[in-house]
Every structure is written in structure tokens, then in C-alpha cells.
Amino acid sequence: MVPVIALVGRPNVGKSTLFNQLTRSRDALVADYPGLTRDRKYGQGKMLGRDFMVIDTGGISGDEEGIDHVMAEQSLLAIDEADAVIFLVDGRSGLNPADEMIANHLRLTDKPYHLVVNKTDGVNPDVAIADFFELGLSQPLPIAASHGRGVKSLIELVLDAF
Ligand code: GDP
Ligand code: MG
């Protein structure tokens, strides 16, 4: 079985950028994976010789970005479908109330998750992650999705459990 990784986080943190990095736009055919729905975007990733599937959430139909309850619902559904969760936050804008909401969901699930601080290019990663210890989740991991920095070690960490 191929591990399924969900990308969750509030709008604009870089989920789709990371999705594209991981899948290089190899979109998965939902029909090949019973149980998955068309409301979320699925892609196939291959990195470090391992196959995995990635789920992107939010902004798929174009009109749900910024609508908190829809974001929350999509996150919950994606978490349900996933074997592991990447929770993305924005290292440039700092902690946000919507981050807290998603953190609360993650605390209620038994899925393994990784707190990942994106957009740490051109900033001090230690400073960028500092805000997010307050969420009380896992150790925040800095990446820069648009540059691909930290992405390989992130996937290595996520796939290590499978
Ligand atoms: P989503 O709403 O979570 O899917 O976020 P997007 O992937 O659409 O990205 C939102 C914005 O953040 C876009 O303008 C991206 O180019 C930008 N972005 C994404 N990753 C990075 C990064 O690592 N560094 C910087 N500086 N900008 C990024
Ligand atoms: Mg997006």
C-alpha cells in the first residue's frame, strides 16, 4: 500500500506549492484509489525511491479559500483519508487563529502529523519557527517549498514511519 500524506493549513501558507514540488504535477486518478473523493486534489509523489500519494486541500473549486468552516471540513476529511499529515504554517506571518483551529483537530486525531513552517527562505529559520512552539504540537520543521529547501528531509521523516 502507498502511504497517503495530507497537506493541511490555512489558505496561502504554501500547500499547493509544496504539493506541486512533491508531485511535479503528476495528478492521481481518483478512480484508481477507492474511497477518495474529487473534492480534494490528489497527486502521486516519488522521492528517495519511495512512492506516496499527496492530498492538497483548500482552493480546489476556487471559492472556498478563506471560508473557515469549509477549510476546517476539508482538513478533517483529508486527515481522515491520510496515513500521515503535514500541517503547514507560514513562517513569515507568524501564528494565526486559523492555525490554532487546525492544531486542535490534529490533537484529536491519532494520525501521525508533522508541523512544518514554510517560507523560511531569506529569514532566520530559528526565528521563523519560534512562534509555533506555542501550538504545543511536534517540533516545528522549517522549509521553503517554493525553493524546494527542506522538502526531501521532510518527506524522509514522514515516510520513515511506514
Ligand atoms: P496555499 O493557499 O496554502 O495552497 O498556498 P500557495 O501554495 O498557493 O502559496 C501562497 C503564496 O505563497 C504564493 O504566492 C506562493 O508563491 C508563496 N509561497 C509558497 N511557498 C513559499 C516559500 O517557500 N517561500 C516564499 N517566499 N513564498 C512561498
Ligand atoms: Mg492551494
**122-134 average pLDDT score:** 96
Mean pLDDT confidence for 91-109: 90
For ligand 1, pick from 7, 10, 12 the residue to mutate: most ligand atoms within 8 Å of CB.
Answer: 12
Burial of 38 (0-12, 13-18, 19+ CB in 10 A): exposed
Residue-wise burial string across 127-147, b where 16 or more C-beta atoms lie within 10 A, e elsewhere:
ebbebbeebebeebbbbbbee
* Count of domains observed in the chain: 1
- pLDDT value of residue 26: 63
How far apart are the CA of 88 and the centre of ligand 1, in A?
11
Range of the domain at 14: 4-159
Q: Which residues contact 113 (CB under 8 A, 6 or more apart)?
A: 84, 85, 86, 87, 106, 137, 138
Residue 127: its pLDDT value, please? Answer: 96
pLDDT at 29: 60
Report whether 57 belongs to an annotated binding site: yes
User: How many other β-carbons are positioned within 10 Å of the β-carbon of residue 119?
Assistant: 23
What's the pTM value of the predicted model, to 2 decimals?
0.90
If you measure from the C-alpha of residue 32 to the centroid of ligand 1, how many angstroms do you get, rounded to a whole number? 29
| List of residues 6+ apart from 106 with CB closer than 8 A | 79, 85, 87, 113, 137
The confidence score (pLDDT) of residue 64 equals: 45
Centre of ligand 1 to C-alpha 75, Å, is 18
Nearest Cα neighbor of 77 from 111, 28, 114 is: 111
Bridge partners, residue 134, by sequence: none
Query: Considering all CA atoms of the chain, what is the largest pairwise distance in Å, rounded to the nearest integer?
Result: 43
Let me know: does 137 contact 63? Beta carbons within 8 Å: no
CB-count burial class (<10 Å; 0-12, 13-18, 19+) for 51 = exposed
Residue 118 has pLDDT above 60, yes or no: yes
pLDDT, tens only, 6-38: 999 988 899 989 999 999 866 656 556 666 666
Domain of residue 69, CATH code: 3.40.50.300
pLDDT at 149 over 50: yes
Kindly report, residue by residue over 31-90, the tens digit of the pLDDT. Answer: 566 666 666 788 999 998 999 999 998 744 344 455 566 677 778 889 999 999 999 999
Q: What is the pLDDT at residue 25?
A: 67
Q: What is the pLDDT of residue 30?
A: 58
Answer whether 59 contacts ligand 1 (Cβ < 6 A).
yes
